[in-house]
A and B are shown apart, each in its own frame.
Chain A
């Protein structure tokens, strides 16, 4: 069955290595997909704060271009699209496409195909993205999220728990000083976790934590592609990280 791939603005403009990783994963597990050329930004909170109507109209336009289940690679897009589609479905009494976040998609695919990958011994601290979990959208447990951790385990990595795990990274705070203070607080917690890297499924978390964290910050798609045998250099996995792995 074909899917609609929605990569989101940040990944396409800032993280080509993540985009490459997504294509590698989809190709390797045999998922046919299309990317509607005319789709625009899903306009999460900045715009939504000023005009709910514009946000809804942009996503109504996007929705018309989507012919199948939408796979999102950024959890902020997931939240914006699924919230908008829910309102549109109630308002117009129409069928709307399902929106699936990358973590959940991976878990379902790995389970469906019974896939498990060789042990890599890399310890990963998950930065759970707020908009995937809250307000609860039945994707994961909001107070004890497990989806990304379960995917990591199946891919051969070791998810580690840490203090302040559910804390927001502050990426969508508009005031710079406050945004940086929150990022530093989160980065400190992540560094104390003993992990080798940080893993997330949100491109805003990625950008925010990359700006302060001493640990490498990766998208789950990059580690998924690595386990499946993609070329580490093309998907943005550094030498340093590879040296920390068993069976890289």
Chain B
């Protein structure tokens, strides 16, 4: 499993000494103890098991990366777990696909609200529309990635 994670960009998990610097800094753990980066890495390196915790709960704030004394990069492990779970058929949160769909539609990840549209007009801000050729290129990149 470790080699599969590394293929997906995970850092050097075997250097982990289970000190818990990641978990004690983790903001998600502070509101819900179930999410525990130390245990996520522990279950992989000690038990060779896919952790049962949901990698999509991570806020990606990277404080675990900054504070890890062993330079393990726990975030990279969590991101690799997202990819592996996706490949194993575990659906990511629907929000992820909504963002991707929106990029395919307009080139931007968020839709323009009516309120913002009116405000843009009253402030004299430029039109948002992306040219057709560019949008085609963006769509192509995303559809070739399977989206």
Cβ-defined partner of A130 (8 Å) among B61, B99, B138: B61
Which residue on chain B has the smallest CB distance to residue A173?
B59
Is A104 interfacial (CB 8 A cutoff)? no
Contacts of A130 in B (CB 8 A): 59-63
Is A1 interfacial (CB 8 A cutoff)? no
Stretch of A50-58, A151-159, A216-224 with 4 or more beta carbons under 8 angstroms from chain B:
A50-58
Q: Are A50 and B96 in contact (CB under 8 A)?
A: yes
- Residues of A17-63 at the interface with B, using a CB-CB cut-off of 8 Å, are 17, 19-20, 23, 35, 37-41, 43, 45-54, 57-58, 61
A235 CB to closest chain B CB, in angstroms? Answer: 9
Which residue on chain B has the smallest CB distance to residue A136?
B66
- CA A16 to CA B127, docked complex, whole Å: 12
Is A101 interfacial (CB 8 A cutoff)? no
Cβ-defined partner of B123 (8 Å) among A20, A35, A134, A181: A20
Given A53-B145, A131-B62, A182-B28, CB of A14 within 8 Å of CB of B56: no
Contacts of B30 in A (CB 8 A): 167, 182, 185
A217 CB to closest chain B CB, in angstroms? Answer: 16
Q: Are A174 and B96 in contact (CB under 8 A)?
A: yes
Given A12-B128, A13-B116, A173-B57, CB of A166 within 8 Å of CB of B63: yes
Given A20-B123, A170-B27, A175-B54, CB of A47 within 8 Å of CB of B96: yes
B27 CB to closest chain A CB, in angstroms? Answer: 5
Q: Are A58 and B141 in contact (CB under 8 A)?
A: yes
Cβ-defined partner of B66 (8 Å) among A23, A37, A54, A134: A134
Is B107 interfacial (CB 8 A cutoff)? yes
Given A13-B116, A43-B109, A46-B100, CB of A174 within 8 Å of CB of B123: no
Cβ-defined partner of A16 (8 Å) among B54, B61, B93, B119: B119
Q: Are B108 and A172 in contact (CB under 8 A)?
A: no
Q: Are B130 and A9 in contact (CB under 8 A)?
A: no
Is B133 interfacial (CB 8 A cutoff)? yes
Is B131 interfacial (CB 8 A cutoff)? yes
Contacts of A3 in B (CB 8 A): none
Is B2 interfacial (CB 8 A cutoff)? no
A98 CB to closest chain B CB, in angstroms? Answer: 21
Contacts of A166 in B (CB 8 A): 63
Cβ-defined partner of A181 (8 Å) among B31, B62, B82: B31
Q: Are B93 and A174 in contact (CB under 8 A)?
A: yes
Given A40-B134, A54-B142, A142-B66, CB of A174 within 8 Å of CB of B109: no
**6 nearest interchain CB pairs?**
A38-B134, A168-B61, A54-B145, A134-B62, A130-B61, A9-B108
Q: List 20 A-B contacts (CB under 8 A).
A: A10-B110, A14-B110, A38-B133, A39-B134, A47-B103, A49-B56, A50-B96, A52-B9, A54-B141, A61-B141, A131-B60, A133-B62, A133-B66, A134-B61, A134-B65, A135-B62, A173-B58, A178-B35, A182-B30, A182-B31
